[in-house]
């Protein structure tokens, strides 16, 4: 059965049970909530909630019933973030290395996006074992994140444990060839940072034939 994912932004009064009533309407229309996020509201006493909902039916009856709830001030249907921004690649580590990986990733993403893909690239320069380990674990909670690139000169300890945890949750992890134990825990190890960005995008792009599971070696 074909499904369609829609985005819905709902402005509501701050009341107990509002989220429960909204999700009840979605369930009654056999909608599957793919994600929900509380957005910043600039109106005192009101909240903004963003839903992404998978539907097998036309969305108009669902939207009309949600908008008719007494607590709802405004409702707008939007394109899903998957359609707009697509898959996310997260690059973190030392600033200089992050920048070089981003050059490769952004250039390669542009090539695939011109051909119909939707791939976005996020970067965060970070130093220190615990901040990096916390950030690695947090990537698994980010919506639409498909791959993580660790760009630095030395990473190990709790960062390695975090890498193994997010890999077990299905996240692709690429590491620069660096000192420490993180390269041993990653899916792919690449020495050149620009090439690391390129290969990561190729690995998640549907318009590319490159697949990590077909490689005969994991270090380049």
In our burial notation (b when 16+ CB lie closer than 10 A, e otherwise), range 67-89 reads eebebbeebeeeebbbeeebbbb
Task: Place 216 in a pLDDT band, splitting at 50, 70 and 90.
Answer: low
Q: Are residues 57 and 101 in the same domain?
A: no
Model confidence pLDDT, tens digit, residues 77-117: 988 888 888 889 999 998 889 999 999 999 998 998 898 88
Domain that holds residue 129: 85-214
Q: State phi, psi for 84 to the nearest 5 degrees.
A: -85, -55
Model confidence pLDDT, tens digit, residues 43-86: 888 889 999 999 988 899 999 999 999 999 999 998 888 888 88
Q: Are residues 59 and 90 in the same domain?
A: no
Distance between terminal CA atoms of the chain? 42
**Which one of 60, 82, 104 terminates a domain?**
82
pTM: 0.78
Q: Are residues 60 and 141 in the same domain?
A: no
pLDDT at 217: 66
Distance, CA of 176 to CA of 183 (rounded, Å): 7
Distance, CA of 192 to CA of 97 (rounded, Å): 10
CATH number at residue 59: 3.30.70.260
Whether residue 219 lies inside any domain: the answer is: no
In our burial notation (b when 16+ CB lie closer than 10 A, e otherwise), range 188-219 reads bbbeebbbbbbbbbbbbbeebeeebeeeeeee
Model confidence pLDDT, tens digit, residues 165-210: 999 999 999 999 999 999 999 999 999 999 999 999 988 888 777 7
Q: Do the beta carbons of residue 86 and residue 144 sit within 8 Å? A: yes
């Amino acid at each position: 059965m074909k499904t369609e994912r829609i985005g819905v932004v709902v402005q509501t009064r701050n009341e107990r049970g509002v989220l429960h009533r909204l999700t009840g309407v979605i369930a009654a229309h056999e909608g599957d909530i793919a994600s929900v996020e509380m957005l910043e509201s600039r109106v005192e006493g009101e909240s903004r909630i963003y839903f992404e909902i998978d539907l097998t039916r036309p969305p108009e009856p669902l939207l009309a019933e949600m908008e008719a709830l007494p607590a709802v001030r405004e409702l707008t249907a939007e394109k899903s973030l998957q359609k707009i921004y697509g898959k996310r690649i997260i690059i973190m580590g030392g600033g200089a290395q992050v920048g070089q990986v981003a050059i490769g990733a952004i250039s390669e993403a542009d090539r695939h996006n011109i051909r119909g893909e939707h791939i976005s690239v996020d970067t965060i320069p970070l130093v220190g074992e615990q901040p990096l380990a916390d950030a690695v674990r947090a990537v698994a909670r980010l919506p639409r994140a498909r791959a993580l690139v660790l760009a630095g000169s030395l990473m190990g300890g709790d960062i390695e444990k975090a890498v193994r945890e997010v890999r077990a949750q299905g996240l692709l992890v690429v590491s620069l060839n660096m000192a420490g134990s993180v390269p041993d825990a990653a899916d792919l190890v690449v020495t050149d940072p620009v090439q690391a960005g390129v290969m990561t995008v190729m690995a998640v792009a549907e318009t590319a034939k490159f697949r990590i599971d077909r490689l005969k070696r994991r270090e380049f």
